[in-house]
Each structure stands twice: as structure tokens, then as C-alpha cells.
Structure 1
Amino acid sequence: MKHVLTIAGSDSGGGAGIQADLKTFSALGVYGMSVLTAVTAQNTLGVQAVEELSPEIVDAQLTSIFSDIRVDAIKIGMVSNAQTIRVIATHLRKQTVPIILDPVMVAKGGHALLRTEAEQALISELLPLATLVTPNLPEAERLTGRSVTNLDEMRLAMHQLATQTGAVLLKGGHLSGAATDLLFDGEVEHRFTSERLDNQHTHGTGCTLSAAIAARMALGEDLTDSVRQAKSYVTEAIRHGFALGQGIGPTHHFHSLWRDTHVYDHS
């Protein structure tokens, strides 16, 4: 069995963050491990509070895992503190496995999840270590300092980011029309387009996609196939996303497994 590590924040509502990553790993047949960077008070209506864990306990978690358990791929999500980012980077420089960086900056409801002073640390410390970085359009605008409102601007931002990191998957979910993501692996551009689903319950989509890519790469698939398979998985998870609470519900990580076992009542 392959082992995949997620380094991210906790979502008390269970739809994003560490919880979404571990569900994705389980659904795709890899063993999930976690290093928490922060705890959020969060539900379907938004983020009400965030408390960061100390860099020392993040360091201890990483040391504990890397000293004992083989890690086959790593996904990084919410890291909001510059010192914590530097601690993570110190550990990652010793690793040779795929590293998928999802630069979580703002929650779906608008709550800032990355401190302004930590942005430069993320750019200087983590981007150079990433095998793949997976920003959405607002995150790409923050990382590049340029406007990204259409496919041509996506290509420009993607190539700019590629000078600072490994491969770039720029997610076009904020555009209208078909859902088109662009991947640049350093040599070739790839375009992944899927139908735009009429379902508001999309909480955790970005976390789920990056976790799915990490799982696929741990299983031995190359980057392009991992992205293609992960996007297909997320599309179906969105298709089966369901109401939970009073706001935006989660994607359904176990949609195929629950269907096969006839467990499909979300009430």
C-alpha cells in the first residue's frame, strides 16, 4: 500500500482541509497521514475562527512521521505562518517524492487563510520544492501580481509561475462556461475541460483535487495522467455533492463506493 501525507489545516465541518484530504486518500486506495498546521472553526456558512498550531508542534509531527513511516507523496494545503512554512521546507528538502502544493489563501466564503507576511515565504520556500502547484485564479493573481480573467491570461500566469516552481496546474473554475484547467509541465501545455455542473455544493473542491493528484502520483501514474484522473474524480464528486447544513455543502468523496454499497441517503 502507498502512503500519502497531507500537511494542512483542519475543517471542523469536514468538507475541506485535512478531512477532505484523508477522505480522498481513502477513496483512491492509499493510506493517508496528516500533519495539522491550524484548526478552523468552520461550517457550510464559512470560517468563523482560525487558530494556528505552533511551528514547534508542526516540526514534531513531521519528524515523527518521517522518522518512522515511508512517505510516497506529499500534499500541502493551508500553511498561514512564515515560520511554519520554513519548518516544512526544511523537512521537504530531504524528500525525493512528489510534492503537490495547493496554495490555500482564501476560503470559499472570503476568509483569509494565509497571512500577508507568509505569502513571500510560501513563494520563496515552498514553490521551488513543489512538483506541482495548483492555484485557482484568485490565488494565481496573488502569486503573480497580474489579472487572470480569461484563458489567454491564464496561460501567461501559468508560464510566469512555472519559472518559480515545477509544473503548474491553473484551475479555471472561476471562469464561466466549461470548466477548463491548464497544465504546464515545463515543456508541454495540456488542457483539461469538463462540463460545468449545476450544483452549488462544491466545498473542498481544491483540497480534493490536489489530494487526488498526490494519491495518483503515489500509485505510480505520471503527472499528466494523475491530473486527468484526479479531475475526473473531482468532477464526479461535485456531481454528487450534497446539502449539509444551511450553506454550501461538500463534494462527495465516496460517491462511487457509496453507490456500490447502496448507502446513498444524505438526509
Structure 2
Amino acid sequence: MRHNRVRTAVLLGALSGMLLLAGEWLGGGSGVRIALVVTLVALGVAYFLADRIVLTALRARPVSEVEQPVLYAIVRELSYDARRPMPRLYLAPTSQPNALATGRNPRDAAICVTRGLLAILDERELRGVIGHELSHIYNRDTLLCSTTAALATMITYFGYVGLLFGPSDDPDEVPGFLAALILLVFGPVAATMVQLAVARSREYAADEAGARLTGDPLALATALRKIDEGTQRLPLPRTGRIASAGHLMIASPFHRSRWFATHPPTAQRTARLERMAGRQG
């Protein structure tokens, strides 16, 4: 866990440095200032509005305790055991089984589950999934993933700005244009790889922390198998709105991609949980 935090801090620093360097290439000192302002605005939006953006993308609505008493009982129990505030609960109308956590801190957090998830999991398995999502909240993964996504978006933005408005007729300014081209081509790839590295390591950590919170690693392992089967059978379209929330979900909601997978293979996750259960036994 400590190693993941250090590595993530380094990766976020590298992304921020890339943005400032892009500003210098495209506009000198004034470009650096513009890049700094834009980056701070993007991070501010990610910090204060990320949860609303994600929940709106999924068309999620608040769910009441009368409507979902079992879900409320599980979340209340685990939050009490962890001595943390209980997050808000939302329900997304999609038939795909999935879940996610969002919010900038434990006091402003929310957990969203889909109708498909509630339809296929029993109470024990649902408890394992909720433990996983609560661990994301307690480890501040939700804030981290949101800020990483914001920085990655800004890298792509600066690449487009450089190509559209960067001067290319003056031979003395060709390097700036080439820098914009390089940023446009390789920047999104680098940003995506950072997102993938963050998301994958965080999923393993949340699996372990969630299993410790519930005391039942096998319940989460069984739930992950069911969720993996359901997401492959009912993949969501990789549209702009949903794509922004995909890396926050417990399993990738899209068609599998070998090179740009935001989540570790389910087989590896369940194997880790089974070994953990064996050690507990």
C-alpha cells in the first residue's frame, strides 16, 4: 500500500511536469503560466465535481433504505466496523453487473451499484463487493483516479492546441510545432499508461483491503467471477461519458482490450483472494 502511494505520487508528478513542459514548448513563459492555470482548473473540477460527473454518466439516482434495505444494512455495518462515515448510495439502471465508488474523501463519498449487480449476487457476495468499494474510498483511490484522468485529458488538449494554433511557417519555430505533434501522438498514450498503472495496482490493494474488512475473501472472489462473466456478456458502449467512469468500476464495463486493460485479469485477482483465504484458514 505504501509503495503504491509513492509510485502514484511520482506518476502524477510526471504528468504535471509534462503539462508544464508542453506549455513552455508551445508558448514560452506565458505558455507555462497558461498550462499551470488550465491544469489547476482541471484538478479543481476533478476534486469538486468528479462524483457528479461519474454518477450522471451512468444515469444513477439516489436509492432509499426502504427500496434497498439489504444494501443499506451491509454498507452501514461495514462502515461502522471501519469507524468511517457511511457513503451515499446510488443505483444505476444498467443490466450489466458492476459497481463503483466516487467522491473526494470519505465524508463526501458515494457508492453506485447497478441493477444487474443486485440481480446476480447473493448477500454474502454483495458484502464482498461493498467491502472492495469502501476500501477504494478509505484509501482515497477515488480522488486519485479522478485527478489522474483530469491530467491525462489536459495532455491530449495541449497536443491539439499546439497543432491547431502552434506556428509552423517560421523555421525558427518548427521545433515547437514538432513538440506539439509529439505531445499529441505520445501524450495520450503516456497518460493512458499512467492511468492503467494506477488503476491496476489500486484494484489489487482494494481487493485485499476489502477482504480484510469483510473477513471473507472467497465471497469477493466468487462475486468477481460472476461480474466478469456478466460484463463480457453485456459490455457497455465506450462512449465519452461512460468512458470517464470505466476505470472506477470494480470490473471493466467494456469489451476486453489486451493492451489497454484498466483492470487486472479476474483470474489473477481471484487467485490472490483464494491464497489470502488459505492463509486465514
| Band of TM-score, shorter chain | under 0.3
| TM-score normalised over the length of structure 2 | 0.25
| TM-score normalised over the length of structure 1 | 0.26
Name the larger-Rg structure.
2
* Greater share of helix: 2
